[in-house]
Structure 1
Amino acid sequence: MNPRTAIDDAYWAMLAAAHLPGEQYTEPVGDPGLFGPGSPIWYVHGDVSGVLGGVSGLLLGALNEPVTHGTNQHSNYLQDPIKRLGFTSSFVMGVTYGSTPVAEKLTGTIRAMHKRVHGTMPDGRPYSATSSDDIIWTGVTQAYSAARAHVRYHPKPLGGSDLDQYFAEYAVISEKLGATGVPKSRADVEDYFAMMRPRLTVSEETLEVIKFLRGPVGGDAATRISSKVLSRVATDLLPDFAKNLLGFRPRLPTTPLAARAAGHVFTRTLRYGVVWRPIKEAHDRVGTPYTPV
């Protein structure tokens, strides 16, 4: 089999584990969706560096204990992480590149799912996936991590006001899910993290989730090795305050360099092989040329 075909088949087979109902990129013709071609969010999410950012965002998100506890109580991702990855990818890609009706349908589906996720932690703290605070945390940690991976691993990364616009556009997704007061720039995000740091904790439950996310996933040796490398690269993307909370210290001065070298190899390999069909279909829908990274 052609190496490119093998990489493409393996990538999409992994993400085909689950899709949200209504995800499609071809109709209605001419509808640019919530953002459209030329938007920073189309540019950032159109590169494989987003895979690294997605995993790093899950690690960072685990530091908010009520959100983590709620996820654990109402999700089976520990039993089927690939399926959870498929659903997450389906939502982010669909809302980013889908038409306006598709984006509305997908956000409506997630809002309905969120209504079932609520309860009380053992220490009495409440959690609710419909809470604006919890939606903001999940959205900001994902957007921040995607942007961080983009800046580090994209061959032509955005900067300055374009990155601020990316955060403003990602905030639209959180607002569609019911959040208010969402951070909308790099400065807003830094202020938000400064406000959140005293609330972040590392409990036994948090450590279990982190251990799981950093462990090997998959049924075959190649997938398990790849997932292990991916998790180490994603860990390196974490901000310093998260690494300090989790006690992650480089074993050697060269450890971060090794992780970043692996990140570059990973993203270049996927760029070589993966054909971004949903993004091409979205460009075709609005009649604009699609140029892969």
Structure 2
Amino acid sequence: MADPTAVSFKRDLSDWRIALVAWRLLVLQAADPVVGAGMTEHSTYRAHPWRRIEHTLGSGRRLFYQDAEALRREVARLDRAHKRVRGTTPDGRPYDARDAATRVWVLLTLFECVVAMRSLGGDRYDAEQLELVYGEFREAIAAFGLPEEELPKSAVDLPSYFARYAREKLEFNEAARYLLDGILREAPRPGRLWFLGDAGWRVTRGLVARVIRELTVADLPPVVRERFGLVATRRGALLSVLLHRGAGAVVPLLPDRLRYRSPEGQRPPRRYRPMRRDARGPRVDRFFREVLDQTGDGYITAHDLRAMAHNVCWQLDLDEAAEARVYEAFDGWWEQLRAVMDADGDGRVGREEFTAATLAGCDRGEAYLEQGLLPALRAVFTAADTDGSGFLEFDEYRAVFGGPRVHPAELSHGFRQLDTDGDGRITVEEFLRGFTEFFTARADSTSGAQLLGRP
């Protein structure tokens, strides 16, 4: 028998092989009717699928890698985020992301994902190891205060729990179906595949979509495939064996620094490429496409602005009061946009409509920006100024504006555009002036015009 003390759930969660079952994890979570409804109405997974995966796995790493205080903060952050995810489905069913059974399902799919990774890779947990890692898992999620009756008491009970939940609750709903059949044919290029270029990615992603679909269907639990009416093909089964067993043979031979992802690890940034020159109209249009339209559907709604607020709060790991101020400011920004631009009252604003109205509003004076955008930016500045100094140092700026899709050269360039006096820190006045210039300056030579990259 294998040494049970040689296993660790949190270590296995950071194994790079987790990428092979990541899409399977998303499909299982989305198939819960509450999760599916929340994703359809509140999530940006259609435009940012890779960010959705990173946030899901990143939250798992926060839960299992941190000390008790950090764990408490992450649970509180998730509680606040889920409090906003509620509503009514098109067929009239109310949903609330705080539903206890749904939260248990989402957490247990993370555990089951790691178990499946080991099993498919040929290094399955034995019975004693499985109980050990399940105990480690339950110890971490105890901070959620979930009802004991909702959780399987031991790892032995997990298969029956999954079978029952799949048969009684799961649906092959719009979100799960789109994840499996549609999203990868439209997904933006992952940052680490910068070398393909946009044209290369458009050619490649069709093949990627077929491979991931075949692999995901083959890897889904049989009870879920039966529930969804899916059939694993021989090609998918062979692909699953080759990928999982191949990774299972190779990855464990690597040194730990290569086998396991650091909890704070970041994806390599995309290669810096100078941006083409923008005039004022194209700058605003680009801001809409790259910043505001979080769902990528060509419109902005209240959900897009809240998704931006969520991402700011995620990056900065804010407390409840600071998080509330950010959301309040972004809600106010949306109310301004809705009042000025949503002429037909359908709750959304199109790209051309936004560009034209923004240019017209800025032509009337800076008061237009003061009514919506600038209060939101003040809230971001205050949240990012973690030491309360009244300035943003570069590390504070990077915490909110950096990320895997931002090259360090672009990040440094944006910081320099805002730091107009060159003292190595940004005041709130410099911060707001830079964004005001981005929308109002007619010349590309103005420093604020280059906040999204060099023209």
Q: Which moved more, 1:192-201 or 1:172-181?
A: 172-181
Secondary structure, counterpart of 1:278 in structure 2: coil
For residues 69 and 147 of structure 2, the distance between their equivalents in structure 1, rounded to whole angstroms, comes to: 22
Tell me what 1:153 maps to. 121
For residues 218 and 261 of structure 1, the distance between their equivalents in structure 2, rounded to whole angstroms, comes to: 27
Tell me what 1:118 maps to. 86
Tell me what 1:138 maps to. 106
* One-letter amino acid matched to 1:61: Q
Map residues 69-108 of structure 1 onto 2, 5 A cutoff: 69-108=37-76
**2:263 is equivalent to residue 263 of structure 1:** no
Tell me what 1:7 maps to. none
Tell me what 1:242 maps to. 224
What's the CA shift string for 1:118-145, capped at 9, x where partnerless? Answer: 1222223221111111101111222112
For residues 141 and 84 of structure 2, the distance between their equivalents in structure 1, rounded to whole angstroms, comes to: 18
Tell me what 2:155 maps to. 186
> Retained in 1: the 8 A contact 2:215–2:236?
no
1:53–1:143 distance in 2 versus 1, CA, 3 Å: farther
What's the CA shift string for 1:212-266, capped at 9, x where partnerless? Answer: 4665744244773556534533332211011122222234x45412322133345
Structure 2 residues without counterparts, runs of 5 or longer: 190-195, 266-455
User: What is the TM-score of this pair, normalised by structure 2?
Assistant: 0.47
Secondary structure, counterpart of 1:127 in structure 2: strand
Q: Which moved more, 1:50-59 or 1:109-118?
A: 50-59
Q: Which moved more, 1:131-140 or 1:240-249?
A: 240-249
Identity %: 21
If asked which structure has higher relative contact order (CA below 8 Å, sep 6+), I would say: 1
For residues 70 and 63 of structure 2, the distance between their equivalents in structure 1, rounded to whole angstroms, comes to: 7
For residues 142 and 171 of structure 1, the distance between their equivalents in structure 2, rounded to whole angstroms, comes to: 12
1:194–1:41 distance in 2 versus 1, CA, 3 Å: same
Tell me what 2:446 maps to. none
Q: Which moved more, 1:134-143 or 1:57-66?
A: 57-66
Tell me what 2:21 maps to. 53
Secondary structure, counterpart of 2:87 in structure 1: strand
User: What is the TM-score of this pair, normalised by structure 1?
Assistant: 0.70
1:170–1:54 distance in 2 versus 1, CA, 3 Å: farther
What's the CA shift string for 1:42-65, capped at 9, x where partnerless? Answer: 342242232223321211222222
Structure 1 residues without counterparts, runs of 5 or longer: 1-36, 282-293
1:87–1:250 distance in 2 versus 1, CA, 3 Å: closer
Larger radius of gyration: 2
Structure 2 counterpart of 1:195, from 161, 164, 169: 164
1:188–1:241 distance in 2 versus 1, CA, 3 Å: same
For residues 167 and 49 of structure 1, the distance between their equivalents in structure 2, rounded to whole angstroms, comes to: 19
* One-letter amino acid matched to 1:207: R
